[in-house]
Chains A and B, each alone.
Chain A
Amino acid sequence: MELIIKNGHIIDPSQGMDLIGDIYIRDGLISKVGQGEKDEGGVQVIDATGLYVFPGLIDMHTHLREPGFEYKETIKSGTRAAVKGGFTSVCCMPNTKPVNDNETVTEFIVIKAKSEGFCNVFPIGAITKRQEGKELAEMGMMRDAGAVAFSDDGWPVMDSLMMRRALEYSTVFKAPVISHAEDLSLSNDGVMNEGYLSTTLGLRGIPAQSEVIAIKRDIELAGLTGGRLHIAHVSTAGGVMAIREAKSRGILVTAETCPHYLHLTEEAANGYNTAAKVNPPLRTQKDVEAVREGLIDGTIDVIATDHAPHHRDDKLCEFDRAAFGISGLEIAFSLSYALVKEGLLPLSKLIEKMTIRPAQVLNINKGTLREGADADIAIVNLDKEFVVDTEKFVSKGKNTPFHGRHLSGLPVITICQGNIRYNFNNDIIMDGI
Chain B
Amino acid sequence: MEKDLLDIKSATAADIELILNTASSFKDVLSRDIKKVPTLRGKTAVNLFFEPSTRTKTSFELAEKRLSTDVVNFVVPTSSVAKGETLYDTIKTIESYGIDFIIIRHQCSGVPHFISKISNASVINAGDGINEHPTQALLDAFTIKEQKGRIAGLKIAIVGDILHSRVAKSNIYCLKKLGAKIRLIAPHTLIPAGIEHDVAEIYHDVESGIAGMDVIMALRIQQERQSGGFFSSTDEYFKFWGLTLKRLGKASPDVIVMHPGPMNRGVEIASDAADSRHSVINSQVTNGLAVRMAVLYLLDNARPKGFQISD
| In the complex, B98 has a CB within 8 A of chain A | no
* Contact A205 to B113, CB < 8 A, known contacts A318-B87, A319-B108: no
Q: How far, in Å, is A399 (CB) from chain B's closest CB?
A: 15
Residues of A within 8 A of B108 (CB): 318-321
Contact flags (1/0) for B106-132 with A, using CB distance below 8 Å?
101111011000000000000011111
What residues on B are CB-neighbors of A199 within 8 Å? 169, 192-195
B192: chain A residues at CB < 8 Å are 199
Q: Which residues of A contact B106 (CB under 8 A)?
A: 318
Q: Indicate which residue in A202, A205, A316 contacts B131 across the interface (CB closer than 8 Å).
A: A202
Contact: B129 with A320, CB < 8 Å?
Answer: yes
Say whether A200 faces chain B, with CB atoms less than 8 Å apart: yes
191-209 of chain A: CB within 8 A of chain B: 194-205
**Which of A194, A197, A313, A319 contacts B109 (CB under 8 A)?**
A319
A403: min CB distance to chain B, Å: 15
Interface size on B, residues (CB 8 A): 23
B193 to A318, Cβ gap below 8 A? Answer: no
Question: Known contacts being A202-B129, A203-B110, A271-B113, is A317 close to B193, with CB within 8 Å?
Answer: no
Binding site for A on B (CB under 8 A): 9, 86-88, 106, 108-111, 113-114, 128-132, 166, 169, 192-195, 197
**CA–CA, A272 to B129, complex, Å?**
13
- Point out the residues of chain B lying under 8 angstroms from A318, CB to CB: 87, 106, 108, 110-111, 114
* Beta-carbon contact of B109 and A196 below 8 Å: no
Query: A319: shortest Cβ distance to chain B, in Å?
Result: 5
Residues of B within 8 A of A197 (CB): 194
Q: How far is the CA of A320 from the CA of B129 in the complex (A)?
A: 10
Interchain CB contact under 8 A, B88 and A202: no
Chain B residues, CB < 8 A from A195:
193-194
- Closest chain-A Cβ to B219's Cβ sits at a distance in Å of 15
With a cutoff of 8 Å between Cβ atoms, the chain A residues found around residue B88 in the complex are 313, 316-317
- Give the Cβ gap from A213 to chain B, nearest Cβ, in Å: 17
Tell me whether A201 and B110 are in contact (CB under 8 A).
Answer: yes
**Provided the pairs A313-B86, A318-B106 are in contact, do residues A201 and B193 lie with their beta carbons within 8 angstroms?**
no
- Bound CA–CA A203/B106 (angstroms): 13
Q: Is the CB of B86 within 8 A of A202?
A: no
Identify 18 residue pairs between A and B in the complex whose beta-carbon atoms are under 8 Å apart, listed by A's number: A197-B194, A199-B195, A200-B9, A201-B110, A202-B129, A202-B131, A202-B166, A203-B109, A203-B131, A204-B130, A205-B193, A316-B88, A317-B86, A318-B87, A318-B110, A318-B111, A319-B109, A320-B108
| Residues in A neighbouring B166, C-beta threshold 8 A | 202
Which one of A196, A205, A271, A316 lies within 8 Å of B197 (CB-CB)? Answer: A196
Q: Which 8 pairs across A and B sit closest by C-beta, in order of nearness?
A: A202-B131, A196-B194, A202-B109, A272-B110, A318-B108, A320-B108, A199-B192, A202-B130
Question: Could you tell me the distance between the alpha carbons of A313 and B87 in the complex, rounded to whole angstroms?
Answer: 10
Chain A, 198-229, contact with B by CB distance < 8 Å: what is the 0/1 string?
11111111000000000000000000000000
Residues of A near B197 (CB, < 8 A) are 196
- Chain B's closest residue to A313 (CB) is B86
Distance A202 CA – B172 CA, assembled complex (angstroms): 13
A198 to B110 Cα, complex, angstroms: 11
CA distance A205 to B88 in the complex (A): 25
In the complex, the answer to whether B113 meets A202 with C-beta atoms within 8 Å is: no
- Which residues in A have their C-beta under 8 angstroms from that of B113? 271-272
A32 to B197, CA, bound (A): 63
Q: Which residues of B contact A204 (CB under 8 A)?
A: 130
Question: With contacts A316-B88, A321-B108 known, what are 7 further pairs, Cβ within 8 A?
Answer: A196-B195, A201-B131, A202-B109, A202-B129, A203-B129, A272-B114, A320-B129
Please report the C-alpha to C-alpha distance between residue A201 and residue B128 in the assembled complex, in whole angstroms. Answer: 10
Distance (whole angstroms) from the CB of B285 to the closest CB of chain A: 24
**A313 and B92 alpha carbons, distance in the complex (Å):** 14
Most buried by B among A197, A201, A316, A320: A201
Q: Chain B nearest CB: distance from A324 CB in Å?
A: 15
Given A318-B106, A318-B108 in contact, is the A202-B194 Cβ separation under 8 Å? no
Give Cα distance in the complex from A199 to B193, angstroms. Answer: 6
* A196 to B, closest residue via Cβ: B194
A198 to B114, CA, bound (A): 17
Considering only residues 162-203 of chain A, those with a C-beta below 8 Å from chain B are 194-203
Q: How far is the CB of B296 from chain A (nearest CB, A)?
A: 24
Residues 77-111 of chain A: 1 if any B CB is under 8 Å from the residue's CB, otherwise 0? 00000000000000000000000000000000000
Taking the closest CB of chain A, its distance from the CB of B192, in whole angstroms, is 4
Closest to A269 in B: B110
Q: How far is the CA of A159 from the CA of B231 in the complex (A)?
A: 27
- Of all chain A residues, the one with the shortest Cβ separation from B192 is A199
What's the Cα separation between A228 and B195 when bound, in Å? 42
Bound together, the chains give a CA A316 to CA B129 distance in angstroms of 18
- Complex CA gap A320/B193 in Å reads 18
Q: A201-B131, A202-B131 given as contacts; is B193 within 8 A of A319 (CB)? A: no
- Evaluate whether A202 and B110 lie within 8 angstroms (CB atoms) in the complex, with A313-B86, A317-B87, A320-B129 already known: yes
Q: In this complex, what residue of A is CB-closest to B88?
A: A316
CA distance A271 to B128 in the complex (A): 14
